[in-house]
Amino acid sequence: MGETERHLKQLALFFVAILIAFLRLEGGQKQHSDDLNGRLVLTVEGVPHVEADRLKVRVRVLGGDFSETYGKTGHLTLFGAEGIPSESFEVLGKVKLNNGRVFIYASYKDIKSLVFTRKSIRELFMQKVEERVKDQEVKGLVFSYLFGESQEVLPFEYQASFFSTGLLHLLVVSGAHLTLIAIILRFLLPGVYGLLLSLVGVSLYTFFIVPPDPPVLRAYIMIFMALLIKLSYHRPDYLSLLLFSACVLLLLFPEYLYSYSFWLSFMATLYIVLAIRRTDKIKKTISSSHLYNTFMSFWTSFFAFFGTSNIIATFSLMTPLSILFTPLLSLPFLLFTAYGVLELLTFFSLPSFPLELLGKLILKLVSLFSFAGFALNVPVSVFQAVFLSAVGCLLLYFLKDWWKLLAVLPTVLFLLPLLL
């Protein structure tokens, strides 16, 4: 079977998975549309933050009156609260289900009883960060970057800087994080032992350290399968792995069909995989390996931006300078990740000074870049975004080397009149 024929069959299975997810969601639409009132048993998974008279925190539903919420990650808004009385508790509140996401609204007075449970591994690590990392700004970066917490744990000025520079994606735990962790662990031991360490380390990080969000699970399936294939001394086909991972997630979690997080992660990865495919002449043109690696960091950043820009334009602002800023921050983030992995391996027993120094450097650089950052407001419909993305993927798949740059032409020609 030829490569193109194999990819077409995998693409057909992907569309079947989309159809099945859609039909399953349509069948349960009534369940997702109503607000529910009742009892929930929750455990805190995030760092609480207070806004005006309300406290917001990420939680996991352990039990209660609504079996369809069990095990799901929820977003709790607690009115009139300045803190959480316990890591786990029972509350009476209003529950809203929206495409698989759980939103809980309650008053502090509605906490009826405390439920004492043992702290999770994630909570133990985050408690260690609280004790060891003294700089509050860097602590927020560690929670967001290494533990997948909301960007709201960062001071507002840094949140604004990450947004205006288009670098918010660096704080979302996804393929870049898991790939860096896998590479770092791979070289801690020689040969097959390094691959096994990567396999174990990435698995532990995915299921015990960070929330199981769509980008994390998609990246984990791809990396897990790629490492298994390398252990069998074969070369992984990352396009096939991407389509396979998407099919698995849509069949397990049909609500991801309407998840911006899932599609942004999927499209960024798809454009990167297609952009680096069949680029042998580019590699021959750039003789120096260091120059080639530097060039490819900008090349992948360029195509990742165009892979996600159409989707982002449907609900937010586009930040084109992220094409430049992302590669420029790759080195400090790589060092920050490497030391963070060593801290995780040693249960944050190493000196915190290098982590704080690197974190401070990253925050200052993002603030500096924000002076040059700008955002574009371009109204794009969902249909237009899907069409432009599909055309771009088709061109990227069949074009080679420098001709791949033509893949962004449909998006540029469409957006340019809207900007003028």
- For residue range 19-63, list pLDDT tens digits in order: 999 998 877 554 444 578 888 888 887 778 887 778 888 888 888
Nearest to 58 by CA among 102, 99, 12: 102
Percent of the chain scoring above 70 in pLDDT: 95
Q: 3-state DSSP: the chain helix, strand, coil percent, rounded to 5?
A: 65, 15, 25
Q: Whole-angstrom Cα distance, residue 87 to residue 43?
A: 6
Write down the pLDDT at residue 142.
94
Write down the pLDDT at residue 87.
78
Write down the pLDDT at residue 44.
83
Q: Whole-angstrom Cα distance, residue 44 to residue 75?
A: 10
Q: Whole-angstrom Cα distance, residue 12 to residue 301?
A: 28
What is the DSSP-derived secondary structure letter of residue 243?
A: H
Q: Whole-angstrom Cα distance, residue 87 to residue 236?
A: 42
Write down the pLDDT at residue 32.
46
Write down the pLDDT at residue 28.
59
Q: Are the C-beta atoms of residues 122 and 48 closer than 8 Å to each other?
A: no
Those residues whose C-beta lies under 8 Å from the C-beta of residue 239, and which sit 6 or more positions away, are: 7, 10, 270, 273, 274, 277
Write down the pLDDT at residue 33.
47
Looking at residue 84, its amino acid is I
The list of the chain residues with pLDDT below 70 reads 1, 28-34, 99-100, 114-118, 418-420
Q: How many CB atoms lie within 10 A of CB 327?
A: 18
What is the token pair recorded at 113?
């009883």
Q: How far apart are the first and last CA of the chain?
A: 48
